[in-house]
Each structure stands twice: as C-alpha cells, then as structure tokens.
C-alpha cells in the first residue's frame, strides 16, 4: 500500500531557468556536474533539505557535531572590573561559515523593509514569510535571501538586523515606555494622546483629538463600549466613548481609553479621568441632568457590573446629596440591547433564536410596569431550566432592570425612548 516506483517532488517557486543549458542537456546528453552547497542552519531548524536549486537537487542537511568549548568568565563586580574574558578550546570539526560580508544594497533594502513592515514584535520566521520579502527577492532574481548572498544562510544575521532596526525605531521599547517616547517625538501623536497614567494602580492612556473631545462635551448622551478589535496586549482593554450621528448615518468614536485596570476601582478612575479631560479641553463643566437639571441625560453601557458600578461611584461622589450608587445608575444608565440579546442566545443557544422561550426573555424589554417585569422574572425563575433561572436572577437587579426597561428606570420616558433607538450603534461599528 502507498508504494510506487515514481518519485514525486514539489517544484520550487520562482525557479530560474537556463534555457541554453536545458537545450544542451537534452540534445547533447550532458551530465551536469554536482554543485557544492554551503547552506548552514541552526540546530533548532526543522528543515531536512537545503531548499537550494542545485543541478543534482536539494541536498539533505546533516547534523555536524563540534567539540569546541567556549568559556565566558564574568566578574562578580562588573562595576569594579568592567571586562569579560572569553576563551575557546579545541579545534572546529566543521566547515567555516559562509562569507559574512553582505552587499550594502541588499542590507539597506532589508533594513528599509523591516522599517516599512513596522511590527515591533516581528520574529525572524515571520519576516522570512512576509510577502514583501518574497517580492524583494524576485526583484533580484532569487527566491530566498540565501540565494541573494550566501551570508544570509545564517539566520542569526537576519535576526540581528531585525533587532537593530527594532532598537532604532523603538529605543524605549514597547508598552507604555514606547508610547511615551512616541508622544514626545511625534507631533501628530502628541496631539492625539491627551494623558497617560502609569503607576502602582496600573496603566491608562486617554486618546482623542481636541475637536473630538469638544464634540463629546456637547452631547447629551453617548455610548461607552469595550472593544477587542485593535488590542494585541492581553493585559489591556480599549474603552470607546462613541455616538451615532443621525444626519450623517455614521458612528464616530470621540475618545479612546486604554486601560489595564479591569476592576470597579479601575473604571471609577477611568470615568473620573475621562470627564476631567472633557472639562479641561472644552473649558465647560460636565453636568448630569439628574444632578444639575442640565447636561447628560443618558449613558449606554454593557452589562458589566464592574463598569457600571465604577460609573455609579463617580456620580455619587459628584452628587451634593450623595445618593447611593443604585439611584445614580437608575437615573442615567441604559444597557445595550444587542448585548442583552447575546446573553439570551448564550444561555438558550443560537438554534433557539426566535423560539417561544427567546420571545419571553426578550419581552422583558417591553413590560409596561415594574410589577409586570418582576412577575415575568419570577415565572422564568420558577418554570424554566436552571440556567435560564440563573440568567433571570441577574436581570432582577434594580440596576439591570432600570437599564433595560423604561418602566423601571428613573430616566424621563422621552429621553429613554430616544436613547433606546440607538443602543446598538457602537456595536455595529
């Protein structure tokens, strides 16, 4: 089984064809001489063949051992003795490495390519697979860097070039230190990055152009949404302050906050700093309708308890009468309808979309009184599956039901219904 007398091998891409040589090969029965190969690979390489287009075919790579021992003697106190002694013992039992002097034009082209890719986390393997490198090699009549010059057979050389460009482009490294460096050197970013905080509590960066923040200060309502689309760092979240412009039928983000603090205290600081920034840029006090009879009458949030509790703590701090967190949220918060629907499908499964159970759970949004809402919650808890009951228990919270149903909210019905029409604006962006 699977035995065959024929050999099948893949054809290398971008192979250079010598037509004159092929004619002589077929017409004059020439036997091509074998070609020596100088390809070197690190021990970590998984390649079995050199991938070079020799007349006799690609050569099999063989592991060659070497008995040479290197010693590096580092002093205990480097400040007192700022030297390291390096010694080599034994005779190398392998060929010398290929020439290390690479053509300047090729080196410059590779350096420019690394800069244009602009990825500070790029590895050697990722660079070697990059389409820009393939195009660069084709321009010079080769399929790999090793074909351009033997010195590039040493992958450490390529890694060193990537590392050098990384240090030149990002001298302060990545993360918050790199951001601070760019803010101080790039005028465009300096205008966009309004504030950054980096202390024992965590990292927080507030970004937005002055015109965007001015527009945000004039709004009577907006949406605050967590975004996962542009963040690669696992310890950072992006929080968007956005609105839907009805006349232009466009969703615009007016302020971005990058934060590592996914706690109630963290969101309290986020809202406190965000509204302080809005006040500083606009030169106007940030007012809330339920506290000052003017200003913001609604904020649309996800049903993240840490997020909305942090907002409630901030509002309670502003309130001269110091009403509690629950009262504050009942007066200003709506919850995203799209997020609400997702929680339903997560519990009952997407296959039950549009079912009678789905309709009963969705009807919580349309109950005409708080008593009707509570009665429906009790029925879901009593008669439905345990997982649906647990879902309903969470929706029984005074804050949650106020953010979902106008009859349970302290927001004026005119404003509530106006906001409800746009609760999925940011989610669709």
- Indicate if 88 and 46 belong to the same structural domain: yes
- Indicate if 381 and 341 belong to the same structural domain: yes
* 429 within a domain of the structure (yes/no): no
Q: Which residues contact 249 (CB under 8 A, 6 or more apart)?
A: none
Q: Which two tokens stand for residue 260?
A: 């590592």
Pairing of strands 298-301, 221-227: parallel
Q: What is the mean pLDDT of each run of 10 residues along the chain (429 residues)?
A: 52 62 69 69 72 76 84 91 92 69 85 84 87 89 83 81 80 70 78 88 90 93 80 80 81 90 93 95 92 92 91 94 93 89 92 91 92 94 92 93 92 85 52
Q: Which residues contact 201 (CB under 8 A, 6 or more apart)?
A: 261, 265, 266, 269
DSSP structure class, residue 312: H
Q: Residue 156: which domain range?
A: 99-169
- Which of 142, 169, 196 is the C-terminal boundary of a domain? 169
Q: How far is CA 188 from CA 63, 193, 225, 238, 282, in A?
A: 52, 9, 25, 20, 20
* 420 within a domain of the structure (yes/no): no
**pLDDT score for 11:** 54
Q: How many domains in the chain? A: 3
* 353 within a domain of the structure (yes/no): yes
- Indicate if 108 and 89 belong to the same structural domain: no
Q: What are phi and psi of 221, to 5 degrees?
A: -160, 155
* 347 within a domain of the structure (yes/no): yes
- Indicate if 154 and 124 belong to the same structural domain: yes
Cα gap 273→279, rounded to integer Å:
10
* 157 within a domain of the structure (yes/no): yes
| Whether the Cβ atoms of residue 407 and residue 337 lie closer than 8 Å to each other | no
What are 238's strand-pairing partners?
A: 227, 258
String of DSSP letters for 206-231: EE--HHHHHHHHH-SEEEEEEE-SS-
* 403 within a domain of the structure (yes/no): yes
String of DSSP letters for 244-305: EETTTTEEEEEEEEEES--SHHHHHHHHHHHHHHHHHHH-S---BHHHHSSSB-EEEE-S-H
* 120 within a domain of the structure (yes/no): yes
- Which of 70, 96, 122 is the C-terminal boundary of a domain? 96
- Indicate if 108 and 131 belong to the same structural domain: yes
Tell me the residue length of the chain: 429
Nearest to 409 by CA among 271, 246, 299: 299
Q: Exposed, middle or buried, 107 (CB in 10 Å: 0-12/13-18/19+)?
A: middle
- Which of 145, 169, 193 is the C-terminal boundary of a domain? 169
SS3 157: helix
- Indicate if 28 and 73 belong to the same structural domain: yes
Q: What are phi and psi of 242, to 5 degrees?
A: -140, 165
- Indicate if 108 and 160 belong to the same structural domain: yes
- Indicate if 90 and 107 belong to the same structural domain: no
Nearest to 422 by CA among 253, 154, 222, 288: 222
* 85 within a domain of the structure (yes/no): yes
How wide is the angle at C-alpha 59 spanned by C-alphas 56 and 64, nearest 5°? Answer: 145
């Amino acid at each position: 089984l699977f035995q065959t007398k024929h050999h099948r091998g893949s054809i290398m891409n971008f192979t250079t064809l010598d037509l004159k040589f092929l004619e002589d090969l077929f017409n004059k029965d020439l036997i091509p001489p074998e070609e020596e190969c100088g390809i070197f690979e690190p021990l970590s390489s998984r390649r079995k063949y050199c991938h070079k287009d020799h007349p006799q075919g690609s050569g099999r790579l063989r592991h060659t051992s070497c008995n040479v021992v290197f010693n590096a003697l580092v002093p205990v106190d480097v400040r007192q003795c700022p030297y390291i002694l390096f010694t080599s013992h034994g005779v190398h039992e392998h060929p010398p490495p290929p020439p290390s002097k690479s053509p300047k034009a090729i080196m410059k082209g590779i350096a420019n390519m690394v800069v244009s890719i602009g990825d500070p986390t790029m590895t050697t393997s990722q660079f070697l697979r990059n389409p820009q490198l393939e195009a660069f090699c084709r321009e010079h009549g080769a399929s790999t860097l090793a074909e351009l010059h033997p010195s590039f057979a040493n992958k450490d050389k390529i890694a060193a070039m990537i590392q050098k460009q990384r240090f030149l482009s990002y001298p302060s490294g990545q993360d918050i230190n790199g951001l601070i460096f760019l803010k101080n050197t790039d005028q465009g970013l300096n205008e966009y990055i309004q504030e950054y905080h980096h202390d024992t509590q965590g990292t927080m960066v507030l970004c937005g152009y002055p015109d965007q923040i001015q527009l945000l200060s004039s709004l009577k309502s907006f949406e605050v949404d967590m975004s996962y689309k542009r963040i690669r760092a696992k310890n950072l979240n992006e929080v968007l302050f956005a609105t839907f412009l009805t006349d232009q039928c466009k969703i615009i983000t007016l302020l971005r906050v990058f934060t590592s603090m996914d706690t109630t205290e963290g969101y309290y600081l986020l809202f406190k700093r965000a509204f302080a920034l809005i006040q500083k840029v606009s030169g106007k006090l940030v007012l809330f309708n339920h506290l000052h009879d003017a200003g913001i009458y609604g904020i649309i949030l996800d049903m993240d308890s840490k997020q909305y509790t942090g907002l409630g703590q901030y509002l309670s701090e502003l309130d001269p009468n110091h009403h509690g967190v629950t009262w504050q949220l009942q007066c200003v918060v709506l919850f995203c309808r799209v997020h609400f629907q997702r929680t339903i499908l997560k519990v009952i499964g997407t296959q039950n979309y549009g079912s009678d159970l789905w309709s009963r759970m969705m009807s919580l949004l349309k109950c005409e009184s708080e008593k009707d809402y509570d009665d429906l919650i009790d029925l879901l808890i009593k008669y439905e599956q345990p997982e649906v009951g647990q879902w309903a228990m969470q929706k029984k919270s005074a804050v949650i039901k106020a953010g979902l149903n106008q009859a349970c909210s302290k927001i004026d019905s005119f404003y509530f219904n106006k906001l409800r029409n746009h609760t999925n604006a940011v989610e669709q962006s």
